[in-house]
């Protein structure tokens, strides 16, 4: 295989992903679900306060909020496309960084660029491709990859002692920042071990003792993060409840199995059965590619699976629905070792084809392999396209609803009778607190809102309610007020709304 071909393949897939997912997402972006709370906290909290305590009742991710604070200064409430563009750039950057990391650990062009392409289009990580509130996950992975890139230089044979110390400090700093973006970065030392171990066709990056020593040193920023977080809030405190209780009551092994299934369940959100089969088939091909990678890597493959489970460990108290349109941010970091195994698996298959007896056999196998690889990326991109369309429906509905509420007269209490909460089994839309936060951003003051929320779904060109209306727990007040005005929202989104 030509050395340029894997790079060209990555560039082609990146262009397709931009055309099908990232550019349309930026064009149709609007604020949904927790975007309002995240941006309000990032805007109102001072920078020092983000690093000294939790926000939103138990979230300690100061780097993520600091990044949002900087973006709010640029985009405010008027340019949701700006936030979506930053998320798209981070997705592309992380894929390229993965290729550079694999190069630093001695992998060839096929492995590193196929792994990067796999990671870029990875459909189960759905939210991270389209929802800018996943910047916590995106920035965390950026920090992890930069840390691994520097650690690779530190563990290579022949580096002078002074440079090792410099690289170790820089790598530890990058990992510390990654942890401050999201705590799942603590599994980075496990991925360091997996990538540094040797495998057939590629020697170890360094002696095993040096690899373990580097992994142990990388635990220093983990300890620093724990110390900082303990000073800010109790370790047994979080936005979702007491972690010890959450883990004690959760079926951890069952949830781990669900995550494993979800990572190879490529969803399709559309009406075409043929397209659905094509997208689901891509998930099966991904599974075969990873199995080939496990066979080719030996101990490094086992270590990669352990690293993937390590990235999932902090979220095992909750679960993900395989093939769903939400929850994909939880598997974004865990996809890094899986992408590595996929790249190795395809490379091992290519080598087996090259070593096949007979020119005719090699030609047939090459054609079959190329068709299967094309089918995989086509199915993965088709899955991503259907997901983007689904989320764009959520953005359009949120834009329409917020526009209707924004035009209501000031100085009144409002009861929103049919707040669209989420698409059934799909993307999130709005919580009741979105209205006062958004309106206050323009007027300085906002009315009080009480909401009944409802799930919705697409029915042809219409959006219809599905299920009962229930009181929204994020309402500004609970009981009816004598002067409140009842409002019934229009859900039609066939035409994109103008203005904000």
pLDDT tens, position by position, 2-54: 668 889 999 999 999 999 999 999 999 999 999 999 999 998 888 888 888 88
pLDDT value at residue 159: 52
Query: Residues 8, 10, 15, 16: is their CA dihedral positive or negative?
Result: positive
Better pLDDT: 87 or 461: 87
> Which residue, 245, 384, 256, is CA-closest to 320?
256
pLDDT confidence of 356, banded at 50, 70, 90?
Answer: low
Out of 57-61, 279-283, 424-428, 491-495, least confident range = 491-495
Q: Which of 18-32, 86-100, 174-188, 237-251 has the lowest mean pLDDT?
A: 237-251
Residue 208, φ and ψ in degrees, nearest 5: -60, -40
Window from 61-65, 191-195, 225-229, 438-442 with minimum mean pLDDT: 438-442
Note the pLDDT of residue 160: 53
Burial of 461 (0-12, 13-18, 19+ CB in 10 A): exposed
451 strand-pairing partners? 416
Reference 411, options 483, 334, 330, 464; nearest CA is: 483
Q: Which segment of 304-308, 348-352, 468-472 scores lowest on mean pLDDT?
A: 348-352
Q: Is the pLDDT of residue 169 over 90?
A: no
- Rounded CA gap, 255 and 335, in Å? 16
- Structure-block tokens of residue 335: 């996809």
Cβ(116)–Cβ(9) below 8 Å: no
Q: What is d(CA 141, CA 125) in angstroms, rounded to the nearest whole number?
A: 13
**Per-residue pLDDT tens for 251-292?**
999 999 999 999 999 989 887 888 888 899 999 999 999 999
- CA gap 44, 49 in Å, rounded: 10
């Amino acid at each position: 295989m030509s050395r340029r071909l894997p790079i060209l393949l990555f560039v082609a897939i990146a262009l397709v992903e931009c055309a099908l997912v990232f550019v349309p997402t930026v064009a149709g972006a609007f604020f949904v679900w927790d975007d309002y709370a995240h941006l309000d906290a990032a805007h109102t909290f001072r920078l020092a306060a983000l690093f000294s305590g939790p926000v939103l009742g138990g979230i300690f991710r100061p780097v993520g909020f600091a990044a949002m604070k900087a973006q709010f200064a640029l985009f405010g409430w008027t340019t949701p496309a700006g936030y979506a563009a930053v998320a798209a750039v981070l997705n592309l950057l992380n894929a390229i960084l993965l290729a550079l990391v694999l190069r630093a650990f001695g992998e060839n062009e096929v492995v590193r660029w196929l792994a990067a392409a796999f990671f870029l289009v990875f459909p189960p990580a759905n939210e991270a491709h389209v929802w800018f509130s996943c910047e916590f996950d995106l920035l965390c992975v950026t920090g992890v990859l930069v840390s691994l890139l520097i650690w690779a230089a530190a563990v290579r044979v022949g580096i002078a002692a002074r440079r090792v110390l410099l690289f170790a400090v820089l790598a530890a700093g990058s990992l510390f920042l990654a942890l401050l973006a999201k705590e799942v970065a603590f599994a980075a030392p496990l991925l360091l071990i997996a990538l540094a171990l040797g495998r057939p066709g590629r020697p170890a990056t360094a002696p095993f003792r040096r690899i373990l020593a580097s992994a142990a040193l990388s635990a220093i920023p983990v300890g620093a993060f724990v110390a900082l977080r303990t000073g800010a809030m109790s370790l047994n405190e979080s936005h979702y409840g007491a972690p010890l209780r959450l883990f004690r009551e959760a079926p951890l092994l069952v949830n781990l199995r669900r995550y494993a299934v979800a990572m190879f369940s490529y969803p399709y959100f559309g009406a075409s059965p043929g397209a659905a089969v094509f997208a689901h088939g891509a998930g099966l091909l991904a599974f075969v590619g990873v199995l080939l990678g496990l066979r080719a890597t030996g101990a490094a493959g086992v270590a990669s699976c352990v690293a993937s489970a390590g990235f999932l460990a902090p979220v095992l108290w909750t679960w993900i629905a395989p093939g769903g349109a939400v929850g994909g941010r939880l598997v974004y970091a865990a996809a890094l070792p899986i992408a590595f195994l996929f790249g190795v698996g395809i490379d091992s298959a290519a080598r087996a084809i090259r070593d096949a007896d007979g020119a005719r056999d090699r030609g047939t196998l090459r054609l079959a392999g190329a068709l299967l690889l094309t089918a995989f990326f086509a199915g993965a991109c088709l899955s991503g396209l259907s997901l983007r369309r689904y989320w764009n429906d959520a953005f359009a509905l949120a834009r329409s609803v917020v526009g209707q509420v924004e035009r209501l007269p000031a100085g009144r209490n409002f009861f929103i009778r049919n707040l669209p909460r989420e698409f059934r089994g799909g993307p999130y839309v709005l919580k009741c607190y979105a209205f006062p936060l958004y309106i206050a951003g323009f007027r300085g003051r906002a009315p009080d809102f009480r909401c009944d929320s409802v799930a919705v779904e697409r029915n042809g060109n219409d959006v219809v309610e599905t299920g009962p209306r229930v009181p929204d727990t994020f309402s500004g007040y609970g009981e009816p007020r004598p002067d409140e005005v009842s409002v019934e929202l229009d859900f039609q989104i066939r035409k994109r709304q103008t203005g904000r």
